[in-house]
Amino acid sequence: MIDIEKFEKSANEIIANVKKEGMKEYTNRYGDKFTFELNEKGNIDWNGNFEYVRCGFGDNPEDIIMVDPSGGPYIDIGTDMKLFGLEGKVNGFINKPGYGTGWELVLEK
């Protein structure tokens, strides 16, 4: 039989560690795992499987306004990162070096 108090204590410790570390994990509809982690610049590093991804652009092709990996999550300018358990709203995207390695989500300051 499961000891509910032990289970709740363990779950709360895991949640506290994730909050302390500033990292969250998201699993999309295809089972791909993505992580969101606060970086030293106060932005969020978004890592996962970006082999198949579509991007939307503003008037200038260098102005990325949305990123949508196959299976999600779709993130665009203005996305409230509370959806993923983090604070801040997305204000821009920086593609990390190396194809398909991830993105830096620039947050509103």
Split at pLDDT 50, 70, 90, the class of 73 is: very high
Kindly give, in sequence order, each residue whose CB lies less than 8 Å from that of residue 66, ignoring residues fewer than 6 positions away: 55, 56, 74, 75, 76, 77
Read off the pLDDT of residues 14-72 as tens digits, 9 standing for 90 and up: 555 545 567 999 999 999 999 999 999 999 999 999 999 999 999 988 899 999 999 99
Residue 100 pLDDT class (50, 70, 90 cuts): confident
Separation of alpha carbons 103 and 65, rounded Å: 12
Task: Decide if 19 contacts 25 (C-beta within 8 A).
Answer: no
Distant-in-sequence, close-in-space partners of 32: CB < 8 Å, separation ≥ 6: 48, 49, 69, 70, 71
- pLDDT of residue 10 exceeding 70, the answer is no
Residue that wins the pLDDT comparison between 6 and 60: 60
**pLDDT at residue 7 above 70?**
no
Domain extent listing, the chain: 24-107
pLDDT at residue 109, rounded to an integer: 81
- Lowest mean per-residue pLDDT among 2-6, 41-45, 92-96, 97-101: 2-6
Amino acid at 18: V
